[in-house]
């Protein structure tokens, strides 16, 4: 009877589901309804994505040969302006269809999938190939103003409340000169869309991306201006060496194996390549792919073709030069790529990106093109630079020897784990749940804080792992040395999933939240950085999956009556004082986790309903590599400069 009743109910439900239930979203409504589909999120990453969409249009003009300068201004009123001296968005009336009679400018700004990148002669190559760019910015803005210079005339049109035209396109005067052309887009992000984290742009996030754009577009002048109170600055990026300068920049905080940067370019039909590479004395590879200026963080066919040719060419040279003897096995790709920094930048007419995020390039033709040109031109470079070539071979041979030592060390760790019965470290206080999607591992500094955290946790879902002191800095150690470190062995065993980015499997990780819980002092900061370096270098899939977090214990406490109030940071303290101007009690600065009892630690830092966690993300691979090397490498001056420059922007941490 129960089954029959359920079926009847289901039938009735489907009978009531008809045409009246189908909702058609017009114009830009889909963007406002589901903004995450278009910009990834409505947090800070999505907010800055609005800038990238407008800047990408200007860069497309540069790649097409019509733009030499782009100016990005963060205005004092919270708006952002992007100005380029390209051809200017067309303003003539649209010729046909439902938009007939509207200016092309209005169509581009109010219709999804409208633009000059779907064929025709507008652009041979472009990065903004989904055609939703600037219209999405309009949809998610409280106000947007477009100004265009064409044919000696300046045109202007204003939009409000998510893309509604407030005015028609109008002529507002003459251009600065008869030959001046270009576009300025000024927009105010809609605070109702970005309510979670606000609409304040982060200067460092913007400048890092702009510097990369300048590297990838040789000679393009990219200017950043911040007009906001207490944040005023102006920075210009322009690189005559293009990606050669990019490689030098990435290796600046490392010790280069030699001074020269290998570089070669080639073109055929509708595709071109520009590749630059240089080795350093470090142990990690950094190959960064770009397609039409878009960072392909997951690589793709262009990177695949480069790696295949690189392995072939270096083995061939090593044999011919005597660096490898007849009895020696071939070098593996990972041996050759140890310490390599390379930029593989390609441009092509019809790029096939995998997914809206454009993280991977799928064009098969570019793989064979890059492979063929690398085989020929890199071999030629090695022959012409024997001193540098022999250093590369010697480093690769040394890496191969270390790889074998690391293999033995890994096996030793596995044997040790197997002999330990269940295999879990004695100091790990595990949780009872085995469902990784709900379990959390708190890595705690010291045994005493670990004991407090054990009392504060939810034993069903929260595990505690105390670590003693500072773990090994893996930025300066090969795998074989790293695996002999007791604390690192403990981390590997507790987390599961293996070790090394070539082996690690995040799906086998025992926890989907790994939370670093350290004191808010200098030592705590150092421990956090060492752990983040370890995760980024040896368990990168955990970072990419969003499994790594930093706990945010409150920095201050005070009292209201008999109640204790905790405040997250200086900003929270200032807000509290504005709301409670007559507050007379002192504020206690909380430096150590040991100052809290377990009830306080639970309520402020560990309980899911009342804590704040900072999720670690990787937005730009090359930038992340650079920051890791600066913070954990040997160049003290670079580290000092980075900290001084970015200290005021640490309200979010993306590396």
The yes-or-no answer on residue 654 being catalytic is no
Task: Name the residue with tokens 């509290």.
Answer: 576
Collect all residues with Cβ–Cβ distance below 8 Å to 155 and sequence separation of at least 6.
Answer: 91, 105, 147, 148, 149, 169, 170, 171, 172
The two beta strands, 556-560 and 588-589, are: antiparallel
Q: How many Cβ atoms are within 10 Å of 53's Cβ, its own excluded?
A: 24
Which entry of 388, 523, 619, 635 is annotated as an active-site residue?
523
Q: Does 335 participate in catalysis according to the annotation?
A: no
- C-alpha distances in angstroms, 433 versus 312, 462, 491, 509? 48, 9, 19, 14
- Rounded Cα gap, residues 599 and 183, in angstroms: 58
588's tokens? 């206690």
User: What are the beta bridge partners of residue 156?
Assistant: 147, 170
**Of the listed 147, 445, 620, 625, which one is catalytic?**
445
Closest CA to 517 of 606, 429, 589: 606
How does DSSP assign 397-464, residue by residue?
HHHHHHHHHHHHHHHHHHHHHHHTTT---TT-B--S---TTT-EEEEEESHHHHHHHHHHS-TTTEEE
- Partners of 343 in the beta sheet? 276, 288
Q: How far apart are CA 546 and CA 512, in angstroms?
A: 8
- In the set 384, 521, 574, 586, the catalytic residue is 521
- Tell me which residue of 365, 494, 380 sits closest to 442, measured CA to CA: 494
Tell me whether residue 445 is one of the annotated catalytic residues.
yes
Among residues 365, 341, 514, the alpha carbon closest in space to that of 428 is found at: 514
Q: Is 60 marked active-site? A: no
Could you list the beta-strand ranges (E) of 201-331.
221-226, 233-237, 262-268, 271-279, 286-291, 294-295
Going by the DSSP 8-state scheme, the letter that residue 95 receives in this structure is: -
Cα–Cα distance, 517 to 511 (Å, whole number): 15
* Number of separate helices (H) and strands (E) present in the chain: 21, 22
Q: Which of 261, 268, 259, 271 is nearest to 241 (CA)?
A: 261
Sheet with 613-615: list strands edge to edge: 462-467, 440-445, 513-517, 548-551, 613-615
**Distance separating alpha carbons of residues 649 and 207, to the nearest angstrom:** 12
**Is the Cα torsion angle 89, 95, 98, 102 positive or negative in sign?**
positive
Contacts of residue 52, defined as CB under 8 A and 6 or more positions apart, other chains included, come to 209
**Strand, coil or helix: what is 637?**
helix
**Do residues 275 and 263 lie in contact, with contact meaning Cβ atoms separated by under 8 Å?**
yes
Residue 425 CB partners (closer than 8 Å, separation 6+) = 465, 490, 493, 494
Pick the catalytic residue from 106, 519, 620, 626. 519
- According to DSSP, the β-strands at 563-567 and 548-551 are unpaired
Q: Which positions are annotated as active-site residues?
A: 445, 519, 521, 523
């Amino acid at each position: 009877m129960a089954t029959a009743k359920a079926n009847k109910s289901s039938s009735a439900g489907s009978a009531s589901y008809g045409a009246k239930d189908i909702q058609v979203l017009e114009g830009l409504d889909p963007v406002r309804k589901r903004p995450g589909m278009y910009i990834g999120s409505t947090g800070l990453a999505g907010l800055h994505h609005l800038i990238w969409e407008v800047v990408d249009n200007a860069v497309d003009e540069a790649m097409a040969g019509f733009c030499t300068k782009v100016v990005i201004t963060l205005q004092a009123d919270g708006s952002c302006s992007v100005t380029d001296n390209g051809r200017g968005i067309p303003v003539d009336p649209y010729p046909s269809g439902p938009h007939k009679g509207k200016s092309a400018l209005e169509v581009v700004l109010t219709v999804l999938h409208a633009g000059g990148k779907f064929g025709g002669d507008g652009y041979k190559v472009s990065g903004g190939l989904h055609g939703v760019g600037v219209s999405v910015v309009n949809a998610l803005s409280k106000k947007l103003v477009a100004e265009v210079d064409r044919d000696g005339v300046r045109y202007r049109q204003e939009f409000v409340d998510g893309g509604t035209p407030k005015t028609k396109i109008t002529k507002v005067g003459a251009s600065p000169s008869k030959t001046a052309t270009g576009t300025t887009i000024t927009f105010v992000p809609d605070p109702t869309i970005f309510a979670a984290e606000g609409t304040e742009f982060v200067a460092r996030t913007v400048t890092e991306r702009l510097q990369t754009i300048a590297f990838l577009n040789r000679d393009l002048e990219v200017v950043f201006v911040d007009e906001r109170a207490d944040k005023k600055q102006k920075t210009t990026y322009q690189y005559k060496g293009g990606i050669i300068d990019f490689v030098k920049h990435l290796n600046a905080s490392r010790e280069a194996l030699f001074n020269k940067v290998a570089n070669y370019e080639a073109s055929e039909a509708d595709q071109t390549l520009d590749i630059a590479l240089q080795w350093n004395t470090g142990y990690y590879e950094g190959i960064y792919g770009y397609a039409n200026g878009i960072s392909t963080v997951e690589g793709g066919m262009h990177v695949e073709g480069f790696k295949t040719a690189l392995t072939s060419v270096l083995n061939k040279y090593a044999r011919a030069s005597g660096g490898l003897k007849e009895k020696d096995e071939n070098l593996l790709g990972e041996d050759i790529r140890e310490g390599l920094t390379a930029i593989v930048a390609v441009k092509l007419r019809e790029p096939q990106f995998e997914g809206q995020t454009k993280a991977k390039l799928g064009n098969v033709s570019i793989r064979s093109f890059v492979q063929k040109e690398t085989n020929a031109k890199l071999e030629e470079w090695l022959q012409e630079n024997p001193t540098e070539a022999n250093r590369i071979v010697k480093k690769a041979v040394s890496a191969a020897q270390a790889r074998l030592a690391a293999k033995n060390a890994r096996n030793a760790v596995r044997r040790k784990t197997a002999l330990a019965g269940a295999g879990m470290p004695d100091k790990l206080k595990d949780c009872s749940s085995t469902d990784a999607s709900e379990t959390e591992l708190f890595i705690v500094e010291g045994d005493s804080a670990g004991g407090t955290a054990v009392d504060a946790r939810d034993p069903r879902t929260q595990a505690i792992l105390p670590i003693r002191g500072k773990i090994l800095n893996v930025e300066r150690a090969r795998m074989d040395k790293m695996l002999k470190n007791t604390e690192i062995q403990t981390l590997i065993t507790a987390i599961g999933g293996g070790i090394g980015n070539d082996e690690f499997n995040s799906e086998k990780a025992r926890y989907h939240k790994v939370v670093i819980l350290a004191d808010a002092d200098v030592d705590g900061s150092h421990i956090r950085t060492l752990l983040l370096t370890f995760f980024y270098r040896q368990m990168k899939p955990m970072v990419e999956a969003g499994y790594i977090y930093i706990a945010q214990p409150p920095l201050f406490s005070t009292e209201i009556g008999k109640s204790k109030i905790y405040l997250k940071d200086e900003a929270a303290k200032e807000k509290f004082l504005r709301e409670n101007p007559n507050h007379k009690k002192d504020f206690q600065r909380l430096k150590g986790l040991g100052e809290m009892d377990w009830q306080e630690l639970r309520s402020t830092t560990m309980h899911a309903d009342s804590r704040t966690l900072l999720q670690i993300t990787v937005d730009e691979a090359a930038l992340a590599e650079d920051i890791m090397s600066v913070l954990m490498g040997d160049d003290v001056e670079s580290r000092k400069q980075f900290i001084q420059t970015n200290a005021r922007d640490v309200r979010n941490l993306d590396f």
